[in-house]
A and B are shown apart, each in its own frame.
Chain A
Amino acid sequence: MTGPRFDTSGPGATDPLDEIIRIEGGQVLATLIRLTGDIDRAEDALQDAALTAAEVWKRDGLPNSPGAWLTTVARNRALDMIRRESRRAPKEEAAFRMLTDAPASTFVGREADDSTDDVGDDILRLLFTCCHPALSEESRIALALRTICGLSTVDIARVFVVPDATIGQRISRAKAKIANARIPYRVPPAHELPDRLDGVLRVIYLLFTAGHHAPAGELASRVDLACEGIRLGRLMISLMPDEPECTGLTALMLATHARTGARLDGDGDLVLLSDQDRSLWDHTAIAEAAQMVESILRRRRPGIYQIQAAIACLHSLAPSFAETDWPQIVLLYALLEARWRTPIVRVNRAIAVAEVDGPAAGLVLLDELSGSPIERWHLYWATRADFLRRLGSTADAIDAYRRALACPCNDTDCRFLESRLTSLGAP
């Protein structure tokens, strides 16, 4: 590291101060955007404040409330910036008034840490703005990672394996649309909330799955997107404690992520759930997820994330593959499919049904999908191939594994499919 900075773009060891600044930065930025009405100006002010923070904190130690410290310094920076611009446009005049007229209590006295509600509202506003349906889905994810998680465009680009410039463009396009089309900086009113909340949770889950499914070889980035997803999930629980889907999503991520340590073997090859060493699972995380699921199921407002969390917990709590509560999982998948009819849910339901009623029953459920776009998904064919293999239809199974390999898939999955073909004696 060449020095402490907010926009840590290089790989390597993470400075703990940088990490604090990155984590606190999202909240500080959210408040600054409300005060300045401008994402770019807020980012500039925060970056300046982060430089000062790294310097002062190294010398004097961490303040009691780093977030409040950063907010105060960054707010003053924003004031300076606006003041320095000699010819002020009316918009800046308004921003200047907002900053100077804001009650002092908004900025000072944070040391007491008694104003977390304000801060919470700001970050919620930022989340809803980043996840506005008027922005493209890829822009939403990039913007959320940039602003709320404080990741650099370089880090984001590395995670999604696209050029830096692409991420930079997505972010600047999204910012320009927010400003020019006037996407409001607010938490939507109650009647719009169910739809809009869904958009926010979806972005968090996509972010998590991008981190969770990235093959080890491609995780050159030090950024753990799965952990960022869980962090945002926990944030949503604290901000909207009455929405069981926030808890459902977080439990789903925790229970899934808890199995990460056993998903790949020493060579980086995929280990099937049935063959995983369950002692390698994070049982603390699983217990937390199970407790979350228990608490939300009592509210009797099941949603797609809660149901998936319940399924993930049943898998993670089972002492062995054979002792998994498959009948319960089958019921949950039926419940899920009734609410969320997607081919992927159907494939997963078929896998569970095959465990209870045999592979032939699973195959019947898959047959209904034939001819649909799911045929471009390698795991559809891999599932089909597995059922056929278990039914003794070796030739058909080989054919299905070949179709799986013809679909786009990552290296880890490809190696797995090839090993299956070999074990079936395929030439």
Chain B
Amino acid sequence: MPRYAALIYGTENGNVSPEEWGTMMTEYNEFGDKAGAAGVMAGGEALQDTKTATTIAVTGGKGGDVTTTDGPFAETKEVLGGFYLLDCKDLDEALHWAAQIPGAWYGKIEVRPVIDFSGGAG
């Protein structure tokens, strides 16, 4: 079964009211339960906000200098907030599930197939 990553993008705003936050969490839990019951859910995490992000790069090839920068890889209005791993038979099924992730109405979801390194199924 092919696996897809559903990357959840949205704006970070600290001024979400407790009620709005509660609604969103309920919606996410509903999605998790539904996808879990359907056997689609293969994992996922929510990420802390980009203020906690640190970006590193090694310059001059392997073993080179490590540059550490405070902040996310790219300063953008919409940032990666979390992801799910979904086991779906094809892109249509993955898009069907992705459209039910609350992030799809609070922001956007990018769906990407995961590379299968096992070399087996396919």
Chain A nearest CB, measured from B93 CB (Å)? 8
B-contacting residues, A159-204, CB 8 Å: 180-184, 188, 192
> B95: which A residues are within 8 A, CB to CB?
134
B91 touches A90 (CB 8 A): no
B64 at the interface (CB under 8 A from A): no
A183 to B113, CA, bound (A): 11
A181 touches B91 (CB 8 A): yes
A222 at the interface (CB under 8 A from B): no
> A132: which B residues are within 8 A, CB to CB?
91
B90 at the interface (CB under 8 A from A): yes
Interface residues on B, range: 10 to 19
B92 touches A188 (CB 8 A): yes
> A184: which B residues are within 8 A, CB to CB?
89-92
B121 at the interface (CB under 8 A from A): yes
**Known contacts A181-B113, A182-B113: A91-B122 contact under CB 8 Å:** yes
A61 to B49, CA, bound (A): 71
A89, A91, A183, A192: the one contacting B91 at CB < 8 Å is: A183
> A89: which B residues are within 8 A, CB to CB?
119, 122
B120 at the interface (CB under 8 A from A): yes
A188 to B90, CA, bound (A): 12
> A183: which B residues are within 8 A, CB to CB?
90-92
A182 touches B121 (CB 8 A): no
A182 to B95, CA, bound (A): 11
A188 to B112, CA, bound (A): 21
> B2: which A residues are within 8 A, CB to CB?
182
A-contacting residues, B64-122, CB 8 Å: 89-92, 95, 111-113, 119-122
Chain A nearest CB, measured from B92 CB (Å)? 5
Chain A nearest CB, measured from B5 CB (Å)? 11
Q: Which of the listed residues A134, A181, A188, A192 has the most CB atoms from chain B within 10 Å of its own CB?
A: A181
A182 touches B91 (CB 8 A): yes
B-contacting residues, A75-103, CB 8 Å: 89-91
**Known contacts A134-B91, A134-B95, A188-B92: A180-B113 contact under CB 8 Å:** yes
- In the complex, the 8 A-B pairs of residues with the closest C-beta atoms, listed nearest first: A184-B90, A182-B90, A91-B122, A181-B91, A183-B91, A181-B113, A182-B91, A184-B92
Q: Chain A interface (Cβ within 8 Å of chain B)?
A: 89-91, 132, 134, 180-184, 188, 192
